[in-house]
Structures are given as C-alpha cells and as structure tokens.
Structure 1
Amino acid sequence: MSEEVSRNINIKEPRWDQGTFTGRAKHFFMVTDPRNVLLSSETLEEARVTVENYRAGIMKPGLTEDELWRAKYIYDSAFHPDTGEKMFVIGRMSAQVPMNMSITGCMLTFYRTTPAVVFWQWVNQSFNAIVNYTNRSGDAPITVNQLGAAYASATTGAVVTALGLKSLATRLPPIISRFVPFAAVAAANCINIPFMRQRELKYGIPVTDENGNRLGESPNAARQAIVQVVVSRIGMAMPAMGNVDLLCLVITLHRFPILNAPVQVGLVGLCLVFATPLCCALFPQKSSMSVSGLEEDLQERIRKTSPHITTVYFNKGL
C-alpha cells in the first residue's frame, strides 16, 4: 500500500529526471499515452482539482503519492502548461497516435494520384495545424485573422511542396517514389510549424529563471524552440513512413491489396506508440539557453535586474 502523499512534492516538474533522455522518455510515455484521450470530462476535472489543490497546499484525505502523480499526468495530457486551459481533444499529444496512424496509413496507401496526394496532405496539415496551435509555447492570445492566415499559409505551402516532390518522383525508381509521402511530411513540418507559431517568432516566448520567475519574451528562444519541435516531428514520422513501406514491400502486400490500408494503419500505429514519446524526449520540455543568446535589450534588462543569472528557461512547446 502506498503511504499518504508528502506535502513537499514539486508537481510543477515531471516525476523523472528531465536531464536524462531516459527520464524524459518515461515522462512522455505518460503524457502521450493514447488511453488518455478516452478519459471523461469528470476524470479530467477531478485531476485538475487534485493538482491545483495540492499546489495550493490543500490535500484530499487519503491521497497517495501514486494517485497524485497519476492526477498530474492526466492533467498534463489535457491542459496547456502555460495557459492552464483545457486543450482541444485532437490537438492533445495523447491523440497523436490514433490520429497520426489513421492519417499516415492513408497517406502511405493513397499516394499515386494527384487528387489523393492533395487531399491527404491537406488533412494531415490541417491536423498538424491544430496540434501546433494547441501545443504552442507561451500564453499570448492569437487572433482569428492571425490563425486563419497562418493556417492558409502552412497548409498551402505543405500541399505545394508535396505536389512538387510527387512530380519529381516520377523520374525516380518506384521504390524511391514510395518515400515521397515522408519527404513531403518532413518538408511540410518545416513550413507548417513556423507558420502556425509565427507570432512567437515575431514577439517572442516567455523566458524565466530556474525558479520560474518571468524575465521577458524572446524571439531567439522561440526560434530555438521551433527548431527542436521540427526535428522531433520529423523524427516521429521517420520510422512510421519509412520502415513501414519497406516492411510492406517485404511481406508483398501488393499481392493482397485488400489488406494494404489496414496493415499500413496498424504498423504505423505500432511505430508511433514508441516514436511519439521517444522523439518528444529528444529535447527537454523545459528548454534552456544562455543569456548571451538572447536579444540585446533583454540581455541588458536581465543583467540590470538579475546579474547572477546566466541561463534562462522556456517551454519549447510540442
């Protein structure tokens, strides 16, 4: 039996050491657990109350440490870390596996015709736009016009890129052309994520000291955060969109076309169950950079108010 919870657990931070890849992987296996998508509103609200009450020094009688951490990870999977707002369900990282396995499986199956490429790239980039907006860093609001412009730019750029790569693939061997969907997704991530987070690039994201005290907003920190997220997203797609195609060729699904789509979806899902948390864990969620890497005016402000600070921290988003 677990003992009642201690009063000095810091649940603002993950349960495992985020300075190691293993600790980050354990953390993201919990956050991206697809079963969290099925949790009811009542369960999510109960977790939110448990977490917020504990932070305020109020504990439910009989609450154990394991129950507290469970509530924390349910809370983290559904509520934005900066705003505290409940996130749109398909934008949550716990929805990545079921959503991506369906979309990616269809992209790998239906890639031969231009209408199919356009449709599934549009679906994929629309989903990515929702995820990128939902998991953006910072707490500054974004207007409907800004969101609409970012969505239109991101999806158009991604679809045009996919069509360009498909046209190029017609001059390549068939086995190479099967990797066009992955190349298109990788290129589209480089377009979609910066577009959907362009407000951060313009105005910056909050940077703090090690205790979470806000020091200002930095576009340079936003650039570092977005690069890390792009790398992680491409990494997530790599095993699903690359290895699945090779495996399908090995088991000769072309002889049994009726099995193509369900097998593709299943294999993609299996890859994503592991690739999603492991690639999220490539970089710490609470990222850091040297004060000297910030903008000159922000450097000056920090040196005046907190001369002992040499490193700042920020939420990189997902």
Structure 2
Amino acid sequence: MGENRINLNEPRFDQGTYTGRAKHFFNTTNPLNLFASGADLEKAKLLVNQYRQGIEPSGTTDDQVWRAKNLYDSAFHPDTGEKMFMLGRMSAQVPVNMTITGCMMTFYRTTPAVIFWQWFNQSFNAVVNYTNRSGDSPISTGRLGLSYALGTSVATGTAVGLNHLVKSAPPIVGRYVPFVAVCAANCINIPCMRNTEISQGIPVFTEDGTRVGDSPAAAKRAISQVLLSRIVMACPGMWIPPVIMQRMEKGAFLKKYPMMNAPIQVGLVGFFLIFATPLCCALFPQKSSMAASALEDDLKQKLKDLGKSEDRVYFNKGL
C-alpha cells in the first residue's frame, strides 16, 4: 500500500480548527444524504471497509473514498457502526426541525396547538438523542420513557405558563415563548436521556486509540457541550424570524393570504437552520478531549499501567 493513503479514522478536514469542523458538518448534515438509497449506503460502507483493509477496487480515487466516507458518516453511528434510524440522522435535522420549529412559532397562540407542537418536537428530540447517544451505552426503555415524559412536560408547561404570563406584553414577546420552552426542555431531556453515561461513563481513549476505560467526567463534559450546541443552534431560527413575521403580518400579502403564514415561517427557519446546524455542531470537536488530570483516579492508574504519559484523553461527545 502507498504511503499517502487516507486516514479514515479522521475526518477529511482538520478538526483542530473551527473551519475544518464546520466543513465536516456541512457534509454530515447535508439533507441530500437522506435521498441515498439503502443500496447506496451499503455500497459506501463496503468501499470504506475495503479501503481500511487496503483491498479497494483498482483505480479508486481519493474523491470516491471521501464521498463514500461522507455518506457512511451521515448514516452509520461512529461508535457502534450500526445504521441509524433515518429521522435520527443529522442529515434529517434541517428538514424536520424547520417544519417543527416553523409550526411551533406559527401556532403559538392557542393552548391545544402549543401542547401538540411541543409534544411533537420532544418526540423528535427523543429520537435524535437516542440515535446519536455517545459511545456504546445502551438506553433502557424506562430511561427513554422518563426522558421523553420529562422533556414534554417541561416544554409544554413552560410554553403554556409563559403564554399566560405574556398576554399583556407586546405581541412580539409571545413569539419567543417557543424558544424558551425548547431551551428548558433540552436542559432536562438531554441529561436525562444520557443519564446512564453520567453514572457509568463513556469510553475514553489515548491519542493513538488505546481505550483507557469509561469516564463519567468525560460524559458530563460531552453532555454539556451537546446541550450548549443545541441551544445556540436554535437561536438564529427562533430569534430572527419572529421579527420578520411580525412585520409581514402587518403587510397586505399575509392579510390577503393568511394561509401562507406557516409556509413562510417554515422557510425562514429552514434558511437559518441550513447554516446554524453545521456551524453549531462544529462548536466543539466531535472527537473531543479533556485533560488526563481530570479523569477519575482509577483511570489515571489505568493510564500508568498502560505505560502512557498522556496529557489529554479523547472521547466521542455525541450529537
């Protein structure tokens, strides 16, 4: 095998820089990946596995390998290698979230509509959190149900309660209630969904890929990074469209065609999510790291037993 072979254990772009991570996630979250057939995904997986073994078909180019790797990464879990449920893949984030968020921000005035769309959003979040859980930690049905129930309760309770409180406030204030509800639910849903990781830890590795063990400290750091990314990701699409829609609803077009309110709002949210999703996923490296000194004592000892003098250890933060 040649000396200039691609290292498929690492993304194509430098993950040590924000720009490199952003390019990586623009590929991973590309909604067009959803249109890949099962056969296309299996073909990409086969080529990736063949290349890893050095037995890829003669004449295979680097671009072909990277295209296969991008498609593979968009559909298969980075730790388990299992094909992920379609709606849980990161490539589904923009089309699904733009629809849900746009509807949450359109139908926010009545309690039944608020409850329905907050429930729908938390149902989708539960699917995403489960599909993109870090490491190989199983999530029990009970844990999944508890997280789902808590997230839905907090989201709907926050939205209904705030709607009641802001009735006398300027109309624009009510448009931001869905954002507050989404943030509150994320703060409950994500830690609860990944509570097993907090108690049992997630796999941590040395720079050369040697597994040291499972670290609760790494899990807490991973979850906090994911939580911050999710909240920041929601900001552009839930902060800017309300201002635009507030002005548009006073104009002649929406007064004449009120049914266009939801499609326009969904389109606006989608425009911002196309950029916000990959840019916010890139806030922290997917292969994140922490100081070895922050590990639990037994893992510090394990590093010594392995003969490793590492300053940092690495882990998959999840999404």
**Does TM, scored on the shorter chain, surpass 0.5?**
yes
Match of 1:211 in 2: 208
Which moves more between the two structures, 304-313 or 100-109?
Answer: 304-313
Q: 1:115 aligns with which of 101, 112, 116?
A: 112
Match of 1:76 in 2: 73
Secondary structure at the aligned position of 1:72 is classed as helix
Q: Which runs of 4+ in 1 moved over 6 A?
A: none
Taking only aligned residues, the RMSD between alpha carbons, in angstroms, comes to: 1.7
Match of 1:257 in 2: 258
What 5-or-longer segments of structure 1 have no aligned partner? none
Q: Is the 8 A contact 2:245 2:265 kept in 1?
A: yes
Q: Is 1:178 matched up with 2:175?
A: yes
Distance 1:298 1:161 in 2: 41
Q: CA deviation at 1:170?
A: 2.6
Cα deviation 1:167-226 (Å, max 9, x = unaligned): 332343221121111111111111111111111111111000112211011111111111
Match of 2:312 in 1: 311
Match of 1:190 in 2: 187
Secondary structure at the aligned position of 2:14 is classed as coil
Equivalences for residues 32-47 of structure 1 within 5 A? 32-47=29-44
Match of 1:300 in 2: 301
The count of residues paired between Structure 1 and Structure 2 equals 315
Distance 2:3 2:38 in 1: 27
Q: CA deviation at 1:18?
A: 0.6
Distance 1:37 1:178 in 2: 31
Match of 2:14 in 1: 17
Q: Is the 8 A contact 2:139 2:194 kept in 1?
A: no
Q: CA deviation at 1:123?
A: 0.3
Q: 1:128 aligns with which of 125, 130, 147?
A: 125
Match of 1:242 in 2: 239
Cα–Cα, structure 1 residues 286 and 109, in superposed 2: closer, same or farther, change >3 Å?
same
Which moves more between the two structures, 175-184 or 252-261?
Answer: 252-261
The one-letter code matched in structure 1 to 2:304 is R
Q: Is 1:145 matched up with 2:142?
A: yes
Match of 1:229 in 2: 226
The one-letter code matched in structure 2 to 1:293 is A
Cα–Cα, structure 1 residues 35 and 165, in superposed 2: closer, same or farther, change >3 Å?
same
Distance 1:166 1:6 in 2: 62
Q: Is the 8 A contact 1:96 1:276 kept in 2?
A: yes
Distance 2:161 2:213 in 1: 41
Cα–Cα, structure 1 residues 128 and 70, in superposed 2: closer, same or farther, change >3 Å?
same
TM-score, normalised to structure 1, is 0.94
What 5-or-longer segments of structure 2 have no aligned partner? none
Which moves more between the two structures, 304-313 or 176-185?
Answer: 304-313
The one-letter code matched in structure 1 to 2:40 is T
TM-score, normalised to structure 2, is 0.94
Q: 1:54 aligns with which of 43, 51, 54?
A: 51
Q: CA deviation at 1:307?
A: 4.2
Distance 1:133 1:6 in 2: 39
The one-letter code matched in structure 1 to 2:78 is P
Match of 1:85 in 2: 82
